[in-house]
Amino acid sequence: MNNGLSIVFDNAPSSHKEGFIEEEAINNDILIFHLPKINDKIHPSERYLDKKLFKSSRFRINPRDNIKQIKKQISKFLKNKISGKKYQSISIIYSFLDLKRLYLVRFLSKICENYSSQVQLIPYFEPIRLNDILVLPRIIKVCFSLLIQKFCLKVKKLYLFSNLNRFFYEIFFDQIFLYPYKDSKLKNKINTQEIINSFNSSDKCLNIIFIGQLIKRKDPLILLKASIALKFKVKISFFGVGPLENKLKKFVKDQNHSNIEVKFYGFLDNQKLIRIINEYDVIVLPSRFDGFGFVISEAIKYGTYAIVSNQVGAKDLLCNGSKGSVFRAGSKNQLKNQLSIHYLRTKIRK
């Protein structure tokens, strides 16, 4: 009898979960089902599907197929991969809240009972967002889904990407385990000389990178306000688009401070961004809320210091202080202090 099988049932092919999958694969067999949302033409990480690890263990379900067709695909894939095997236990790790896909999770668990007498369902969720005007309908929807999972699907424990707003899930589940996103340990680190043409490092200038949508929730304006208040030169590169872009440009123009240079690069492909992150002194993610913040795990991977707000799930990756620091969301002074400390840490000592 085989020891165990872990089935990861995910929204889409996800590069940021491969570190977690690798850990699961140490003691267990691995299968991965990918089910994008029906309106998703392509998930940002889906382009990596054929290049990533565990290629032979992955199966992508067409979200436009009907339930009957999807069930048939799931059954066929399982039969091809584990027919004739018996496992001591099977864990189905999923990230769904909607009833349609929870129904598929239940269907998958029923099939797995043919291969093991111990089948457990484990949700793997991001923090619940509690700080905007949509909080009430969101809570109602999530509560209903969690109650269905607890009492109908018999879910006993939960995995979380971050401890942010963990108290909400503790209302429903006693067994909660923290598993932040982790980078793959089996892939080689990208080594490239590509940098932005206009990027020019200076020993006495703090080079900051911001990656994300230029929207209120990401709060890029607080980064500008904090940077203008600094007593040393700063260069900020904004990578992203959004409705706040003109407002940010106007703010910089109106302030007219000689200590700050700001450039807006618009959207840049994720792979190209990854290659230039380590050319900067610090990445800043000042969001009013971010379930995780995948760019922070990438920054850590390439040795770039990260400063994030306390409403960013990836703050859990910075707990020891050597990889980054955390400030209170919306606090210009705290962010300014963190930038100043990092400037002293990296520039003055050179």
Q: Is the model more confident about 207 or about 129?
A: 207
Distance CA 115, CA 104 (A): 17
For range 321-348, the mean pLDDT: 88
> Residue 5 corresponds to which amino acid?
L
Residue 264 has pLDDT above 70, yes or no: yes
pLDDT of 172 reads 95
Reported as a pLDDT band with limits 50, 70 and 90, residue 193 is very low
CA Rg, the chain, in Å? 22
Q: What percent of the chain has pLDDT over 90?
A: 54
Q: Is the model more confident about 183 or about 27?
A: 27
Residue 269 has pLDDT above 70, yes or no: yes
- Least confident among 82-91, 232-241, 251-260, 300-309: 251-260
Q: Which helix (H) or strand (E) holds 90?
A: strand 87-94
Distance CA 236, CA 196 (A): 12
For range 66-83, the mean pLDDT: 93
Residue 292 has pLDDT above 90, yes or no: no
Tokens, residue 252: 């910089």
For the chain, counts of helices (H) and of strands (E):
10, 13
> Residue 27 corresponds to which amino acid?
N
Q: What percent of the chain has pLDDT over 70?
A: 85
For range 84-107, the mean pLDDT: 94
Q: Alpha helices of the chain — where are they, by DSSP H? A: 18-27, 67-82, 99-112, 135-151, 166-170, 220-228, 245-255, 270-276, 294-301, 332-343
Tokens, residue 159: 């995995």
User: What is the DSSP code string of 215-258?
Assistant: SGGG-HHHHHHHHHT-SSEEEEEEE---TTHHHHHHHHHHH--T
Residue 52 has pLDDT above 70, yes or no: no
315 near 308, Cβ under 8 Å? yes
Closest among 188, 166, 185, 190 to 176, alpha carbons compared:
166
